[in-house]
Amino acid sequence: MVNHPLTPEQLAVIASPLDAKIFLEGHAGAGKTTAGMERLLSLFEAGIPGYQILLLVPQRTLATPYYDALQSPTAAAGGSVTVLTIGGLAKRMVELFWPLISAEAGFAHPNRPPNFLTLETAQYFMARLVRPLLDQGFFESLTIERNRLYSQILDNLNKAAVVGFPHTEISLKLKSAWAGDPGQAHVYEDAQHCADLFRAYCLERNLLDFSLQLEIFLEHLWPAPICRDYLVENYRHMIVDNLEEDVPVTFDLLREWIPELESGLFIYDLEAGYRRFMGADPQTTYQIKEHCDQTVTFFESFSSSEEMLSVGYALAQSLHPEKEPPSLHPSALPLHPSASHYYPQMLDWVVEQIAALVEEGTPPGEIVVLSSFLSDALRFSLAERLDGMGIPTCSHRPSRSLREEPATQALLTLAALAHPQWGLSPSKFDLAYALIQAIEGLDLVRAQLLTEIVYKERDGALTPFDQINPETQERITYQLGNLYQELYRWLNAYTQGAPGELDHFFSRLFGEVLSQPGFGFHVDYDAGEVAANLIESVRKFRWAVGESLEAEGISLGKEYLQMVADGVIAAQYIYSWQTQPEDAVFLAPAYTFLMRNRPVEYQFWLDIGSRGWYERIRQPLTHPYVLSRHWELHRPWTDADEYDASRDSLYRLALGLIRRCRSGIYLGLSQLGEQGYEHKGLLLKIIDRALYSVSSEQ
């Protein structure tokens, strides 16, 4: 489980008394999470049942090491531990105590059950409410895609909830920090109006989006003795990891909860805090320290070498020359820069270097390729090139939406075919495309040939394989033809029966056909994952809007397909982690790698001139800093603030990456980025400076 022997400091934390409340801080790679895991196991060993332990994390994936530890054969049996985020906790409590607070919280129908919204179903309702307002001239001075507009209004509500201010103050805060053209500030009033409208709509219909769940929990349930007693009596021990990534209201909650706990371990990563755009507030959550009995600091680094740490110092110094003292540099930094003029040249260089490293014995799993934004074009180009050299790759793709996944498109096409009553006949191209996904080994040429013969676009009907002429059958090959025939039979049988729910349809299609040997999803784990996500998405959509659509006489399946086409739903990221080959080069956006929290030997940083390495996503209707707890009302947000924020996030990012790297960083610079623009971002500048200062010292 643990590669290194535990240090005395770690052992001290693990073996601390069962009533200790410890604040554990240190840099990434200092062994804090390892100590947390071992502490959890030691609680079990001390006979504390799992149901008395609450593990709180800001994002579920950050609990992965704990899940792994609990599943290890050496772990003592202690029953299941509750692992939650603050949002998950809120939802669970609202579900449990709904009858007690539904009236008090202002719901119009307190006796009816709550309807929990996901991000996408919330967006669906927001779109329904805001669309007519746009036609009335709302947001006229903004240049923005509609779906981005809806999500920013929701984001404001969520920020109000996680920061802990009334949602009615959103526009006040945003307006008071606005430093641009005064005429533009009215868009915040429009945004406030939409947020108010949405909240009223939710209260009227028992709909609970993330913000409402959290607000009800914090304002109505936590103060209520019945709920508070339930929580403090149930969970006697708490471990909180990655506190620095958590939101301010978590601090509010913990501050009141800690005195009631028997033991607590609160782990804080210094100089991290990457989820600011989600409301993370490392400054506020750091104050938990004052509510603990003791503070322990880990200084060692298990995940980085002296040389690598010297890179960190050099970059930090060139980023903050006024703050950081110049450090002693080694003779050369383990940085390997390479400047290309064109983007494809940089990719060739990356592939060459990786091949050389693998050739020299570095396992592919010890190499990551990081960029600020992982476009499909980049992922595809790299994966193909490395694949050509026999080097496996894996990636997380939060940059591609569910609706753009080929597997999703194939499933939606087959759904349209199986429900002719919707009148959504797919095009021949759609069908050929779906067949390639559905049937393993079917190429585009044969898929198109098959489609031409078996599909009539006008009525959306298929014909069986055995009805086509033998010569064409031979061209398509009997093996592939038989698989098509199986799919045909299944769809045909489904169409004959009464139509089921769309999510049930997908489950059956996946389970009975597509996941079977010979079909496309059988060996494609990604596609299986996508199918599961799609089913989940449809199911939540059905739960949230099924009733109202039924009342309006609209088919849920058809509405779902149309909303996907409009980009209102299934445009979100894939939520679940995908199963990945263990020993493969990992291609990911830098922040994804950080949140994966696994050190490696070598990192490749691509396109270091890009501003995406440090720049927040600019949104004209919301603002993570202005809506944070630390921004004073009426203080304008200026360019200097923006620059400082960029510098700060680059500092955290660069150090976070370096602390997760043992041997060396390859820096790919393409003068003209993927989009053909010249890049001259801040990361490039500080690297240039660091290299220059080392070479000057030589």
Interaction residues for other proteins, span 456-515 (CB under 8 A): 474-475, 477
Run of H or E including 413: helix 406-418
β-sheet bridge partners, residue 21: 264
Cα(198)–Cα(129) distance, rounded to whole angstroms? 7
Q: Which of 45, 223, 677, 697 binds other proteins (CB under 8 A)?
A: 677
- Contacts to other proteins from residues 395-414, by CB under 8 A: 400, 404, 406
Query: Residue 691, SS3?
Result: helix
Tell me how far, at minimum, the Cβ of 381 lies from other proteins, in Å: 6
Q: Which helix (H) or strand (E) holds 601?
A: strand 600-605
- 72 versus 427: smaller Cβ distance to other proteins: 427
CA pair distance 515, 406, nearest whole angstrom: 15
Nearest to other proteins of 221, 411 (CB atom): 411
Footprint of other proteins on 177-236 (CB under 8 A): 179-181, 183-184, 187
Binding mask 566-585 for other proteins (x = CB under 8 A): xx------------------
Taking the C-alpha atoms of residue 371 and residue 401, their distance in angstroms, rounded to an integer, is 18
Token pair of 327, please?
A: 């450090």
323 part of the interface to other proteins, by CB under 8 A: no
Nearest distance from C-beta of residue 574 to other proteins, angstroms: 15
CB of 313 to other proteins, least distance (A): 18
Task: Say if residue 90 is exposed, middle or buried (CB neighbours under 10 Å; 0-12, 13-18, 19+).
Answer: buried
Of 107-115, 309-317, 355-363, 425-433, the segment contacting other proteins by CB under 8 A is 425-433
Note whether 672 binds other proteins by CB under 8 A: yes
How many whole angstroms separate alpha carbon 268 and alpha carbon 598? Answer: 17
- Chain residues 123-142 in contact with other proteins, contact rule CB under 8 A: 140-142
Residue 56 sits at φ, ψ, to 5 deg, of: -110, 125
**Which residue, 297 or 619, is less far from other proteins as judged by CB?**
619
220-233: burial string, b at 16+ Cβ within 10 Å, e else? bbbebeebbeebee
Q: How far is CA 117 from CA 57, 111, 178, in A?
A: 21, 18, 31
Q: Smallest Cα–Cα separation from 316: which of 677, 669, 653, 665?
A: 653
* N-term to C-term CA, the chain: 43
Residues 514-543 that bind other proteins (CB under 8 A): none
* Cα separations in angstroms, 674 against 293, 308, 316, 395: 52, 29, 28, 19
- CB 445 to other proteins: min, Å: 4
DSSP string, 231-258: HHHH--EEEE--GGGS-HHHHHHHHHHG
Tell me which DSSP letter residue 116 carries. E
* Main-chain phi, psi angles of 692, to 5 degrees: -65, -45
Q: Rule CB under 8 A: is residue 444 a binding residue for other proteins?
A: yes
Q: Which is nearer to other proteins, 206 or 628 (CB)?
A: 628
Q: Which stretch binds other proteins (CB under 8 A): 162-170, 337-345, 359-367, 658-666?
A: 337-345
Which of these segments, 217-225, 423-431, 544-552, 597-605, binds other proteins (CB under 8 A)? Answer: 423-431
Q: Of the ranges 6-14, 83-91, 574-582, 686-694, which one interacts with other proteins (CB under 8 A)?
A: 686-694
Inter-helix orientation angle 682-697/639-658, to 10°: 60
3-state secondary structure labels for all residues of 432-456: HHHHHHHECCCCHHHHHHHHHHHEE
* Using rule CB under 8 A, residue 148 touches other proteins: yes
Closest distance of CB 128 from other proteins, Å: 18
How many amino acids of this chain bind other proteins (CB under 8 A)?
Answer: 74
Query: Closest Cα partner for 436 from 408, 416, 406, 475?
Result: 406
Span interacting with other proteins, options 28-36, 100-108, 195-203, 689-697, rule CB under 8 A: 689-697
Within residues 619-638, the interface with other proteins by CB under 8 A covers: 619-620, 623, 638
What string marks each residue from 349 to 388 as x (binds other proteins by CB under 8 A) or -? Answer: --------------------------xxx--xx--x----
Give min distance, CB of 450 to other proteins, in A: 10
Nearer to other proteins, 216 or 606 (CB): 606
Query: Please, which residue, 342 or 573, has the CB nearer to other proteins?
Result: 342
- Indicate the residue among 246 and 559 with the shorter CB distance to other proteins: 559
Nearer to other proteins, 486 or 615 (CB): 615
Q: Judged by CB under 8 A, does residue 3 bind other proteins?
A: no
Which residue from 494, 496, 346, 469 is spatially nearest to 414, judged by alpha carbons? Answer: 494
Is the Cβ of residue 483 or residue 669 nearer to other proteins in the bound state?
Answer: 669
CA 154 to chain centre: 17
CB 447 within 8 A of CB 438: no
User: Which of 294, 327, 427, 579 lies at the binding interface for other proteins (CB under 8 A)?
Assistant: 427
The answer to whether 528 and 521 have CB atoms below 8 angstroms apart is yes
Nearer to other proteins, 497 or 676 (CB): 676
Least separation in angstroms between CB 272 and other proteins: 23
Amino acid letter for position 186: H
| Residue from the set 50, 88, 337, 420 that interacts with other proteins by CB under 8 A | 337
Closer to other proteins by Cβ: residue 95 or 443? 443
In the complex, what is the shortest distance from the CB of residue 638 to other proteins, in angstroms, rounded to a whole number?
4
What residue has token string 């994952």?
529
Among 104, 204, 695, 697, binds other proteins (CB under 8 A): 695
